């Protein structure tokens, strides 16, 4: 007998997210693809396009850092989403529709802006505006996953969801990048294609209810189907107090330190490497972008493997293992600069880094999920995600400074590798796990 009568095996035509497992997986993974699209477009296609146009490392790094800024402060969305909503349309779905709708409007508006290709300052602000609403979608998606994914499926779904963000980034870097490099291509044309992709994905939350009996749209029939335990919190003050209690533990604070520093090295190296290989080594920007885009398939695989590795090794061990290997690759690759014109060597290094970043990221997600206070899980988890994006923002900002500080690009790889190893030692020595408990269960 089916232990879960709400699943699609008992109700094969139940077109709701809580009642149909496959629609639930499809929707959550598609939403993560939607979030990955602009990331891949900006971090790969647009970045390399700008370097190919002759913009400096500092100028491009400053513009790219704007994509991370809204994500750094996205924890501010958490209390708002947990506090307010339209319960008759579902707890999270109204926020998803709003976020994606505004994202589409902003992207199409940017596509109509003249001269955005050559004005890197305006481009930075355009990236910032777009990502304000994409970050709102991200928080809404994570909160929806916490609400509707059964506990037994969370590990696997977490790996697939994060893997799909890499898939979206691949599409954003390769497919959307084509609209930059093709004859007659431009940033505006690529933005138009991005807007179409996000709009198509928006149709899923627009036409799928969270629960049977809810309204599809504000003017249609239906009512709130939320249980008492699922309803929005009574006040933002109540939520804030619970969140402060969640962070008032050493393990929670140490996890925050990890989140702040963990992506500085790989983000700085990505910028320094791209600028050096295209402008100094002489790689074609289009070829280099294609290689970086292909790396997202390895990140996808690393993310899926990371979900299982975190279960088998423990999330903390998986983070330390993948992060340490990543550092060793940087150090080793930096010593092989005489061979940086050899395509297979550069590709091997790039793909290995991509796979380890995927594994490390999913392992960190699992570690943070184990650490958060279950009473404010969605909001506290969002805070950790915001700190991760602060790390990316910092890495982009420091890329130019690091390159000026060290005598050569190989030295930058060495410095980044040593920094990463020190951070992994910090994680290994300070984030304590009580015997018999999940990672992060320490006080």
pLDDT of the chain along its 443 residues, tens only?
444 544 445 544 568 888 888 888 899 999 999 988 988 888 888 888 888 778 887 888 777 777 777 877 777 887 788 778 788 888 888 999 999 999 999 889 888 887 777 777 888 888 888 889 998 998 888 888 877 877 667 667 777 887 888 888 888 887 888 887 777 768 888 889 999 999 999 999 988 888 888 888 888 888 876 776 667 666 667 777 767 777 778 888 999 999 999 999 999 998 898 888 888 888 887 788 788 878 888 988 888 888 778 777 888 899 999 999 999 999 999 999 889 988 899 999 999 999 999 899 888 887 887 787 755 666 777 888 888 888 988 998 888 888 888 889 999 999 999 999 999 999 999 987 554 344 434 43
Sign of CA dihedral 352, 354, 360, 363: negative
Please report the domains of the chain, with CATH numbers, ordered by start residue: 21-215+233-430 (1.20.1250.20)
Per 3-state DSSP, what percentage of the chain is helix, strand, and coil (rounded to 5)?
A: 75, 0, 25
**DSSP structure string for 190-252:** HHHHHHHHHHHHHHHHHH-BSSTTS-SSTTSS------GGGSPPS-HHHHHHHHHHHH-SHHH
CA distances from 78 to 24, 132, 142, 199, 388 (A): 21, 13, 10, 24, 16
Task: Find where tokens 């320490």 sit.
Answer: 442
Query: How far apart are the C-alpha atoms of 413 and 406, rounded to whole Å?
Result: 10
Sign of CA dihedral 180, 185, 186, 187: negative
Sign of CA dihedral 362, 425, 292, 383: positive
């Amino acid at each position: 007998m089916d232990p879960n009568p709400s699943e699609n095996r008992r109700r094969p035509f139940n077109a709701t997210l809580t009642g149909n497992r496959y629609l639930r997986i499809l929707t959550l993974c598609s939403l993560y693809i939607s979030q990955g699209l602009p990331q891949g477009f900006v971090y790969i296609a647009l970045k390399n396009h700008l370097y190919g146009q002759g913009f400096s490392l500092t100028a491009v790094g400053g513009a790219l850092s704007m994509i991370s800024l809204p994500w750094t402060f996205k924890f501010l969305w958490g209390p708002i989403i947990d506090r307010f909503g339209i319960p008759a349309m579902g707890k999270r779905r109204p926020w998803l529709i709003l976020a994606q709708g505004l994202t589409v409007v902003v992207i199409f508006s940017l596509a109509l802006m003249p001269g955005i290709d050559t004005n890197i300052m305006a481009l930075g602000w355009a990236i910032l505006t777009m990502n304000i609403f994409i970050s709102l979608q991200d928080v809404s998606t994570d909160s929806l996953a916490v609400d509707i994914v059964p506990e037994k499926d969370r590990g696997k779904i977490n790996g697939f969801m994060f893997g799909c963000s890499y898939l979206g980034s691949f599409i954003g870097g390769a497919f959307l990048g084509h609209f930059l490099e093709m004859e007659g291509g431009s940033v505006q044309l690529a933005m138009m294609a991005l807007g179409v992709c996000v709009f198509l994905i928006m149709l899923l939350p627009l036409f799928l209810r969270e629960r049977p009996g809810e309204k599809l749209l504000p003017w249609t029939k239906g009512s709130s189907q939320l249980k008492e335990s699922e309803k929005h919190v009574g006040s933002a003050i109540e939520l804030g107090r619970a969140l402060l209690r969640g962070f008032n533990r050493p393990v929670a604070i140490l996890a925050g330190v990890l989140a702040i520093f963990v992506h500085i090295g790989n983000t700085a190296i990505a910028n320094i490497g791209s600028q050096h290989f295209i402008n100094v080594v002489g790689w074609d920007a289009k070829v280099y972008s294609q290689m970086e885009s292909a790396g997202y398939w390895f990140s996808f695989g690393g993310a899926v493997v990371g979900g299982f590795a975190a279960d088998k090794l423990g999330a903390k061990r998986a983070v330390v293992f993948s992060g340490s290997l990543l550092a060793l690759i940087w150090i080793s690759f930096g010593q092989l600069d005489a061979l940086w014109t050899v395509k297979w060597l550069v590709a091997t290094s790039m793909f290995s880094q991509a796979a380890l970043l995927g594994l490390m990221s999913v392992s960190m997600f699992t570690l943070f999920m184990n650490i958060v206070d279950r009473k404010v899980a969605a909001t506290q988890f969002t805070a950790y995600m915001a700190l991760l994006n602060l790390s990316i923002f910092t890495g982009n900002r420091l890329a130019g400074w690091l390159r000026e500080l060290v005598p050569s690009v190989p030295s930058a790889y060495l410095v980044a590798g040593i920094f990463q190893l020190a951070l992994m030692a910090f994680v290994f020595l300070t984030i304590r796990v009580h015997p018999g408990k999940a990672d992060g269960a320490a006080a």
